[in-house]
Structure formats: C-alpha cells, structure tokens
Structure 1
Amino acid sequence: MSPTRLIVGPEHLDRAQTFQVTNKGRLPIDVVVRTASFSAGQDGKVVLDEDAPYSAADWIEVSPAAFHLAPDSGRQVTVRIDPPRDPDSGEHQVEVLFTVPPGAKTGGDNIRISRAIGTPIYITVPGPVDTSLQIGGLRSPGFALGGPVDFGVTVDNQGTVHRDFFGRDALSVEVDGRRVPFPDFTVLRGASRDVTLRWADPPLMCVCHARVSVSGPGGTSSRSATLVIFPLHLFALLLGVLLALSFLLRLARRRYQAHVLGVARSLRDSGGDGLRRDDEMDDEMGRV
C-alpha cells in the first residue's frame, strides 16, 4: 500500500488523490474499499468510531470500490474529496480501509480470516489554522538505582490540525546535557497522547534535571522534573565487601597475636627450666 497516509491542504481539495494497491502474495485476492470515521486513544491506537469528531467520511468518494488482484499485480485507487459548502475550519480526517474479505471455506475449515489495511487522510479546509499544544507533567521515577530509566509525558493538541513528531521534529527530553528522543508519534486534532521513552544509558550517579518542551503559536510549553540516580545496591555491596575485609583483617590480627603470645610463652618456659638446672649444679658443687 502506498502511500501509508495522505495530507491534503486547502489548495489540493479539488485534486484527485491516488493509492497504489499491490498484491505481493501467491494467491489472487478480492479487495473492497470503504471509508470510516476514526479517532485515537491516548496510547495512539486507532479506533473506528462512527461518532468521531472532525470526521470527513462523508466527503470521500473512492474508485473503484471493489476489484480483483492477481498475484504480483497492482491497481490504482482514486480518491476524490468533496467537502460541504461551509465546513468547520481546520482539519478533518477519514480512514480509507482496503479490506480482503474471507474466502470460501474449504474442507473442514471453520475459520475464515479477513484482512484490512487502513490509511488515514488528513484534510485541511480553507481558513485559519491553529497549531497550539500543551504539555502535561513530565513523569519520571524521581529516584533510580541505575539505568534504564523511563520518562513519560502527555501532549494535548489544542489546535485545529494534527501534529507530527517525527525525525528531526521528534519530541525529546533534555537531560544530563543530552537529548533523548521519544518514539515517532502523531497527535490528532483535539486529542491527547501519552508517550514514553526509555533512557538506556544514564550515568552511574547524578542529580539529573530533565526538561521537555514544545513550541506553538502561543509560545513554548515546557515541563521539568528532577531525577536522582544513586546505585544504592552497589553501595550496599561495597559496604558488605569492606565489612568482610575488616572482619578478616581483625581475625588475622587476632591469630597473629595469639601466635606471638604462644611463642613468647614457649621461650619463657624454656628460659625458666635452664635457670633451675644451673641452681641445682651450684648446690652440688657447694656440698662437694
């Protein structure tokens, strides 16, 4: 499927858009094309919702609406946009679904699987555009024994168009003099998105000040947090090693002292016996 999404500005509303659908499998398939309203949850998952706000599902006409594809063949699908006369300003979105219905059951098979690929189209009508964003609190563990460390943030899209955070425009946390980017994501108009990142290689110890910010027409929205990284487990291990070494040294010292005292006693005892023998010999000589 190409492209994977379309962004249509006001100047291109009267221009036909196209998708290229290719069957890269080994079997022929039948494809049915339809449109659907959609929204996105805070985790970014797309939800097909008939009551989704800012829907353009009724503006779209696709041709052909159904077709057959042989293996290793392709087909171009044309999309024409016909907005109402006075649409709400800003951006509207629609999902174009390319569905392969389940084939006929064969043999004793009781399960049939349908497959579908959805491609969003973001349509901006003439009028003022607002790209305002608001950043919620920057979430961090506050204290960590070491890496990796997770950060999280909520991005509220208060504008009238979706916002992409891809590549060089990715949202990032500035921490410890480095820029750690969040994974690529999109925030729909009027929606909120919770995003997280994992800082894989923080320093061994630090009092790190983290900051995330986004710019908009009303200025820069930013949030900050402080993270203390201290390897308490390594400190405890080191303390245990030091205590063990101290105990061994004390034990060795006591053994050495006992050995020295034993040698001293032996020498003293040996010296006392010699003095007694000399006194006995003097007594004998006197009697003679």
Structure 2
Amino acid sequence: MASATGSGASGASGPAPDPDFSLTVSPARLVVGPEEIDDPQSFQVVNRGRSPVDMVVDKAGFTVGGAGEMLFEHDAPHSAAGWLRVTPAGFRLAPGAERRVTVRIDPPPRPERGGYQMALLFAVPAGTGGGDIKLDRVIGTPIYLTVPGPIDTSVNVGDLTTPSGFTTGGPIDFTATVDNVGTVHRDFLAPRSLKVGVNGYDVPFPDFTLPRGVGRSVTARWANPPFMCVCRATVSVSGSGGTSRRSVTLVVFPLHFLGALIAVAAALYALAWLSRRRRRARALGAARGPRGRDDPDGDGQGGRDAPARVGDEAR
C-alpha cells in the first residue's frame, strides 16, 4: 500500500487526530505477466483524511536512479505508458470514501518482446488558495509488464566492495553494483533476496526491483562477523546468460584485543621482573648481614678489638 499524509491539527494529549490529508493507494506495485495482459487491473484509492480531494490519474514512464529512487519520465526507455487506458481519469473523493480505478493494457499488434515498465500517478493538484508556495501531492505506483515471447533474465554483477580489505570487527558493509542486461525486470525480494555468501553465512541485501536496462548499487550489512577470519565474500546472480559472480577477500582481526593482550603481558612481565629483583636484593642483604656485623672490614680477620692470634702472643 502506498500512502501520502499531510498535516493535521495537533493536541497536547490523547490519540492523534486524523490529518487533513491522508491518501492510500493499493497495491503499491503491479506485476502483469504475459497471460494477464488482456485482464483488467485495478487499484483501490482511499481518502483517510478530513478533507475532500480532487484526484487526477496520469501515466508516465520511469527509470530508477543509482540509489534506487524512482525517476518519472514520460519518454523513459522501455515505457509502455501509452498502452494504458485508465477509468476514471479524474474524480472527487470525500473524507472516508474509496474508489476503484481500472486499468486496461492495449499493446500494439506486434510489440517488441520483453518487459516494460510504467507508472500510474495519483495526483492531488495544489489548491487555488492563498500562499506563495503550492504543492502537488502525487503517489506513483509502478507497473511491470511482460509481453508474450522469449525473454532474457540476464543480470551482471559489476563489482563487489567493502570499505577496506581489513577490519577489526563488525558491522561490515558490502556494496554490489548490479546491472540488468536482460529484457525483463528482475525482482530481488525476500525470501529470494540477493545475498552475499561469506564463510557459510548468507547476508541479504534489502529488497529491490531492477527494471530492464537499469543498473544500481545496493549495500548489505553483516552485523555479526566472526571474531577473526580471512573471509571470502561472493555475490552471484543466475540468469538466461549464465551466472555472474564477483568476490572479495576480507580479513577480520581484532587488533584492539591484541593490543590489550600485549599490554597485559607487558604488565605481567614488569611485575615479575620487579619481584625477581626484590628477591635478589633480599638475598644479598641476608648474605651480607652477619658478615657486616662480625667483620666490618670484610677481610675475615675480625675487627680492631679482636683478640691477637696465637703466633703474635708468643712473640
């Protein structure tokens, strides 16, 4: 469900009041396969705000920017906006009311095989009231269409990078560049998300859709890598043209932990050295103590007041 909400009255307490403008459109995206082209498709528009809205339904092609943002262009590549027939194309929607918008697809007799993308724009034009700034409010809902015939689902993984080949721990970001070189859009949505395979772990990228002829970068975050490893990370995508694969090597080593171990080892060595020095000093002091009291000259002959030797007495 796609939605747009405007400002409403504020209150100091209690439940939040309904906003003046609140509009929802469902479904938020539409995928039409070859067997469904002749079937009418529909969107449900609901006014959940407190004010009536005047709705205009327009058609446009679109592409996707490098960060995944939708760029609406009436002449975008592989657009089939001109094939859409919308009923009704304009209406007023009272507060709390809802309206079904029907879409029929009318392709030319022999369209080029493959996929097309276009969008319905559910617009509420700015009012004619006072003020210098006026804002149109628009909800864009993409439509992906595949016409009958052979298709090519090839995708090329251009690159896989990390901020650095060496890290002391997580989280770790992996960024992949993915190009749709086939003829139809590719969905990478859970549980079939694009993943980084790294040392037995699968790290999924956020959900995204890659229209035909579009390339973009996507980033996955590995929140809990192992304590240390030489990790080999790989992204691979299979398609009609085979499997495209890119890999990168990453070293995880906790230098901060190693530094702490070295500091602890140095402290223990210093304590052991000081303890050994004190023991030696005490041993030397104990060895010198008795000799210092009985023989202060250290010649083994006793002090000045010691008795004479026997030989001296005879002389």
**Under a length normalisation based on structure 1, what TM-score does the superposition of the two structures give?**
0.88
Deviation at 1:263, TM superposition (A): 4.4
- For residue 116 of structure 2, what is the amino acid of its counterpart? H
What is the aligned-residue RMSD (CA, Å)? 2.4
Q: d(CA) in 1 for partners of 2:96 and 2:293?
A: 106
The SS at the match of 2:74 is coil
Q: Deviations over 1:184-212 (max 9, x none)?
A: 11111111121110111111111112222
Q: How many residues align?
A: 282
Deviation at 1:282, TM superposition (A): 10
Q: d(CA) in 1 for partners of 2:199 and 2:33?
A: 40
Aligned ranges 1:86-101 → 2 under 5 Å = 86-101=110-125
Q: 1:131 and 2:153 equivalent?
A: yes
Tell me what 2:86 maps to: 62
Q: d(CA) in 1 for partners of 2:125 and 2:66?
A: 30
Tell me what 1:117 maps to: 139
Q: Deviations over 1:142-193 (max 9, x none)?
A: 2211111111212221111100011121111111112111111111111112
* Pairing partner for 2:75 from 30, 41, 51: 51
Tell me what 2:108 maps to: 84
Q: d(CA) in 1 for partners of 2:143 and 2:37?
A: 12
The SS at the match of 1:249 is helix
Q: d(CA) in 2 for partners of 1:86 and 1:99?
A: 32
Tell me what 1:176 maps to: 199
Greater relative contact order (CA < 8 Å, ≥ 6 in sequence): 1
Q: Deviations over 1:48-83 (max 9, x none)?
A: 123311111211122222222222221111112222
Deviation at 1:101, TM superposition (A): 2.1
- For residue 237 of structure 2, what is the amino acid of its counterpart? V
**Under a length normalisation based on structure 2, what TM-score does the superposition of the two structures give?**
0.81
Q: d(CA) in 2 for partners of 1:183 and 1:97?
A: 25
Deviation at 1:258, TM superposition (A): 3.0
Q: d(CA) in 2 for partners of 1:264 and 1:225?
A: 67
Contact kept, 8 Å, 1:105 with 1:111, in 2: the verdict is: no
Unaligned runs of at least 5 residues, structure 2: 1-24, 297-301
Identity %: 54
- For residue 157 of structure 2, what is the amino acid of its counterpart? I
Question: Which 4+ runs in 1 deviate beyond 6 A?
Answer: none
Q: d(CA) in 2 for partners of 1:77 and 1:54?
A: 24
Q: d(CA) in 2 for partners of 1:114 and 1:52?
A: 22
Tell me what 1:23 maps to: 47
